[in-house]
Amino acid sequence: MFFKIRVFFLSCVMLFSLHAVARADLIPAAPTINAKAYLLMDYHSGKILTQSHEDDRVEPASLTKMMTSYVIMSELKAGAIKMDDKVLISEKAWRMGGSRMFVEVGKRVELDKLILGMIVDSGNDATVALAEHTAGSEDSFVTLMNKYAEKLGMKHTHFANATGWPNPEHYTTAHDLAILTRALIKDFPDHYDLYKIKQFTYNKIPQFNRNRLLWLDDRVDGVKTGHTESAGFCLVASAQKDDMRLISVVLGTSSENARESESRKLLNYGFRFFETFKLHAALDPLTQMRVWKGNKEEVPLGLAQSLYITTPRGRRDMIKAQMTVDSTIVAPIVKGHEYGHVDVKLGDEVIAERPLIALEDVAEGGFWRRTIDNIKLLFQ
C-alpha cells in the first residue's frame, strides 16, 4: 500500500506584510462591459480574471476564421497541404458575399496570399478557397473544424461553415473563443504574427485589417474582429506588456467603437491590477525521491509544463506551494508517469494544481538490489 507524504518547497514564501495586504485591498471590481458576453484571460496561466455570460451560446461571425486558420496551420504542419500550393478559385468562393479579398474565379492563387486575405481582410472568398483546397469541399472542412474544436476542449461550440456566415447551427461561447485563441498563439506562434499585420495589397487592391486596436494600442498584436447584424460587433484581442499576455473576448456590442473601447477596458484592468509570473519551469527537478528495487537510488520529480501563476498585484508574496509525493516509489519508473502533485495556494484558496512526474526512467535493479530492498521495506 502506498502512502502520501507532504513536502514543502520555498519557491514562494508566505509573507503577510502590511504593505502586500494594503496593495491587495486597492484592487477594484472589474469594469462594467457593455456586451452580450465577455471574458478576460491570462494567456500563460489560463486564469480567467473576469467574465460574464461566458458560456452563453453566441454567433461568432468572422471570429470563426480563427478556427479556420487553426485547422489550416494544423494541416500544413501535418504535410497535407503546402504554403506554396496554387489554390484554384472556385465559383462558390468567388461568389461569396460580405468581406472579400477579390480573387477571380478560375485563377490560381498562392496559399500564403489567401491566408493573408483571410486574416488581414477577413475575406470570405479567400476563406472558402482555403477550405476547399484543404479538405476538398467546405462541408468536409467543417468536419475538420468541429473535430479540432473537440480536441481543444471547446465544449459549447459547433461550426456549420468556414467563414462565420449566419446559420442556426453555427455557434460558440466567449470561453471557447478564449481557449481557441490561447491554442492558436501557443501552437503556431509564427503564424500568429500575421494577425498584427495592418495592411497588405493583392491585385493592386489595398487590404486593411479591421482590428483598429492595432493602431490604437501598442500592446495589441491580434486577433480578430467579427460582425453580422445578428451577432453585433465582436472582437477577440490579445495584448502583451512586459512578460504578461492577456486575451480579451468581447461579443455582441453595438458598434465598432464599442467593441474597441470595451476591449481596452478589459485589457487595462488586467494589466493594471494583476501580474503573472513563472513559479517553476518545465522539466526542472523539484525534488529527488528514493527509488526502491531500482538500478538507481533516486529519481527526480518535476512538472511537464512550466507553471505560471496569476495573482492580484500586491499578493505575490502571499503565495505558498506544497508537494504531495508517493512515499514508496518502486522501480521500474517510467519517465512522465505521475508520482504526486503540486498545490499552489493564495491564502486558503488552491489556485493551481499540477501533477508531479518522473523526469527520468529507472529500470529494475539486479537480483541482490531487489532482495535487499524487499527486506528493508518489511521494516518500513
* 265 part of a folded domain: no
Which residues span the domain enclosing 286? 4-18+279-378
| Contact criterion met (CB below 8 Å) for 192 and 224 | no
**111-119 vs 124-135: helix crossing angle, rounded to 10:** 140
Neighbouring residues of 334: CB distance < 8 A, sequence distance ≥ 6: 358, 361
Same-domain pairing of 43 and 168: yes
Q: How far apart are the first and last CA of the chain?
A: 12
Strands 86-88 and 199-202, bridge-based pairing: unpaired
Same-domain pairing of 104 and 9: no
Same-domain pairing of 12 and 122: no
Same-domain pairing of 197 and 142: yes
| Contact criterion met (CB below 8 Å) for 172 and 153 | no
Cis peptide before 206 (omega within 30 of 0): no
* 267 part of a folded domain: no
Same-domain pairing of 233 and 373: no
Cell 479538405 belongs to: 135
Question: In sequence order, what are the beta bridge partners of 52?
Answer: 38
The Cα–Cα gap between 172 and 103 comes to: 29
* 29 part of a folded domain: no
Cell 519508473 belongs to: 333
| Contact criterion met (CB below 8 Å) for 273 and 67 | no
Same-domain pairing of 212 and 101: yes
* 137 part of a folded domain: yes
Q: Is 90 a catalytic residue?
A: no
Choosing from 45, 69, 122, 248, the catalytic residue is 122
* 23 part of a folded domain: no
For the chain, the domain total comes to: 2
Same-domain pairing of 184 and 284: no
Which helix (H) or strand (E) is 194 found in, with range? none
* 24 part of a folded domain: no
Q: Among 219, 253, 287, where does a domain finish?
A: 253
Q: Is 62 a catalytic residue?
A: yes
| CATH number for the domain harbouring residue 290 | 2.60.410.10
pTM: 0.89
Please write the tens of the pLDDT for every residue from 109-142: 999 999 999 999 999 999 999 999 999 999 999 9
Q: Is 293 a catalytic residue?
A: no
> What mean pLDDT do residues 98-118 have?
96
Same-domain pairing of 214 and 306: no
* 271 part of a folded domain: no
Same-domain pairing of 158 and 245: yes
Choosing from 65, 265, 293, 320, the catalytic residue is 65
Please write the tens of the pLDDT for every residue from 277-316: 999 999 999 999 999 999 999 999 999 999 999 999 988 8
Please write the tens of the pLDDT for every residue from 321-377: 999 999 899 999 999 999 999 999 998 889 999 999 999 999 998 889 888 878 888
Q: Is 70 exceeded by the pLDDT of residue 11?
A: no
Same-domain pairing of 297 and 243: no
The Cα–Cα gap between 25 and 315 comes to: 10
Strands 329-330 and 287-292, bridge-based pairing: parallel
| Contact criterion met (CB below 8 Å) for 325 and 290 | no
Same-domain pairing of 241 and 291: no
* 334 part of a folded domain: yes
